[in-house]
Chain A
């Protein structure tokens, strides 16, 4: 572990680079996924094909995607390439969450909004989107974790981030260096996950703190069934 203590400044500067290279794609992926996911939800005939195709983007191997982007004009050895690739992966994961989230909004609530006179734009921003929040948050957490972990592959196209600790450590046969990299990535992912959970609580204070237990769900269902009758 002395290696770790001797190289804390290196690890820290790599961590900052890594955060930058991860946060931008997470935000961009989220923003792009919203209209795409909405379109897939709205036009139900397209939903299956669109979601499947977009989901399959995630299976393009990262090295292959970097090369594809290079063929399309983004220089292979550039941070732009990494960020665009990570954004595409983010959209691939997030779109389905957007669609599922919009699907999960209680139709009765939507009907009530229409009845009160909300236009489609206002309905989307004040009813549909907020109420799909929990599902969106779940998807965003997966996207964030995935992106932070995947960003390490950027080292293979010369981008400095925590992935450098893997290739450099492997070449020099320094196990603590590689271990430090793995631990750092996991820790950052967990911290970002925690921040997202907190952000979710601030943005959606009405969301139940923990998922309901089975008996609570049955009880809720029974109440609903009884109430409507």
Chain B
């Protein structure tokens, strides 16, 4: 009887110890490599976040490795998800640096903004950001929402701009579920261009659905390599449905100037074509963000 008791106790305590041990061993960063300490007298630890978007993760990893190269200790919290989810962490300082996109971020804080050009959007964003947050220099690289059709569909209906879609019947627009409610979604299409669409929440299957013909218009990020590889036509947006959306680092105001210097150099070196090339390395060559980032920094790094 006491033997049973002690055996039970042994098993339970072993399990408990195992649980505790496992809870101790972890890495809060999903990307391997962790935070490498450097020989230089380390300044603050910078926490960098990223969206649940592989391209954004690459940019964040570039920021991380650039800062580590400059002597900082970096903690990565990647793959967080929607803007609505991580902005609070930025505001309260749990995360200090985040790669973002000017236009989408501006619309998040100021849904009624009328700015559309790249410079206007950047200026408006600076004023729209709440206390404690600011943006560093924006990059020439862009990655914005864009409406695309297949080359065949464009040829069939003679399409070059979104306005040309007006009047075509049975149009289905595909994109992330949230697109249905966004100002540049179906309601914006109707009010700005008079285009009637029904919406289908296709999420990450959007491009495949477009190619398969189940939807006619797809919201695809402009830096997505599949626009080229799947022969898609991006429709022009003369009336400014979409805001220009350049890659821009969002930081909490407490970060040091040295951080700003390093990141601004990175931003300046990142071109639109360069960003597409990074995405190709990730999807076609299937390289990890870590490898892509180190290769890019080796080629474009601080001189």
Name A's B-contacting residues (CB within 8 A). Answer: 3, 6-7, 9-10, 12-14, 16-17, 19-20, 23-24, 27, 76-77, 125-126, 129-130, 155-158, 160, 164, 167-168, 170-174, 177, 199-200, 202-206
Contact between B16 and A204 (Cβ–Cβ < 8 Å)?
Answer: no
The closest CB in chain B to the CB of A11 belongs to B32
Contact between A172 and B7 (Cβ–Cβ < 8 Å)?
Answer: no
The closest CB in chain B to the CB of A17 belongs to B26
Contact between A199 and B14 (Cβ–Cβ < 8 Å)?
Answer: yes
Contact between B4 and A126 (Cβ–Cβ < 8 Å)?
Answer: yes
Contact between A23 and B32 (Cβ–Cβ < 8 Å)?
Answer: no
Contact between A171 and B54 (Cβ–Cβ < 8 Å)?
Answer: yes
Contact between B81 and A199 (Cβ–Cβ < 8 Å)?
Answer: no
- Bound CA span A14–B80, Å: 15
Choose from B11, B26, B53 the contact partner of A202 (Cβ within 8 Å): B11
Given A10-B288, A160-B29, A171-B204, A20 and B22 contact (CB-CB distance below 8 Å)? yes
Q: A77-B81, A129-B8, A158-B86 are in contact. List 18 more A-B contacts (CB 8 A).
A: A6-B287, A10-B30, A10-B32, A16-B26, A17-B26, A23-B18, A24-B19, A77-B80, A126-B1, A130-B8, A155-B79, A160-B28, A167-B204, A170-B204, A171-B53, A171-B54, A173-B283, A174-B283
Within 8 A of A (CB), among B278-296: 282-283, 286-288
A-B contact pairs, 16 of them (CB 8 A): A3-B286, A6-B287, A17-B27, A17-B30, A24-B23, A27-B16, A76-B85, A126-B4, A126-B5, A130-B8, A156-B81, A167-B52, A171-B53, A172-B286, A173-B283, A200-B11
B63 an interface residue at 8 Å Cβ cutoff?
no
Within 8 A of A (CB), among B259-294: 282-283, 286-288
- Bound CA span A14–B227, Å: 31
Most buried by B among A9, A160, A164: A160
Q: Which residues from chain A contact B1 at a C-beta distance below 8 Å?
A: 126
Distance (whole angstroms) from the CB of B124 to the closest CB of chain A: 27
The closest CB in chain B to the CB of A173 belongs to B283
Contact between A205 and B7 (Cβ–Cβ < 8 Å)?
Answer: yes
Choose from A77, A157, A199 the contact partner of B89 (Cβ within 8 Å): A77
- Bound CA span A31–B43, Å: 44
Choose from B8, B32, B286 the contact partner of A9 (Cβ within 8 Å): B32
- Bound CA span A28–B286, Å: 39
- Bound CA span A189–B22, Å: 15
Q: Which residues from chain A contact B81 at a C-beta distance below 8 Å?
A: 77, 156-158
- Bound CA span A202–B3, Å: 11
- Bound CA span A1–B166, Å: 47
The closest CB in chain B to the CB of A133 belongs to B8
Distance (whole angstroms) from the CB of A216 to the closest CB of chain B: 24
Within 8 A of A (CB), among B10-54: 10-12, 14-16, 18-19, 22-23, 25-33, 52-54
- Bound CA span A160–B53, Å: 13
Distance (whole angstroms) from the CB of A86 to the closest CB of chain B: 13
The closest CB in chain A to the CB of B78 belongs to A160
Q: Which residues from chain B contact A16 at a C-beta distance below 8 Å?
A: 22, 25-27
Distance (whole angstroms) from the CB of A6 to the closest CB of chain B: 7
- Bound CA span A20–B25, Å: 8
Contact between B89 and A168 (Cβ–Cβ < 8 Å)?
Answer: no
- Bound CA span A20–B29, Å: 14
Contact between B286 and A174 (Cβ–Cβ < 8 Å)?
Answer: yes
Contact between B204 and A158 (Cβ–Cβ < 8 Å)?
Answer: no
Choose from A24, A164, A177, A204 the contact partner of B79 (Cβ within 8 Å): A164
Contact between A164 and B30 (Cβ–Cβ < 8 Å)?
Answer: yes
Contact between A27 and B15 (Cβ–Cβ < 8 Å)?
Answer: yes
Q: Which residues from chain A contact B16 at a C-beta distance below 8 Å?
A: 27
The closest CB in chain B to the CB of A83 belongs to B23
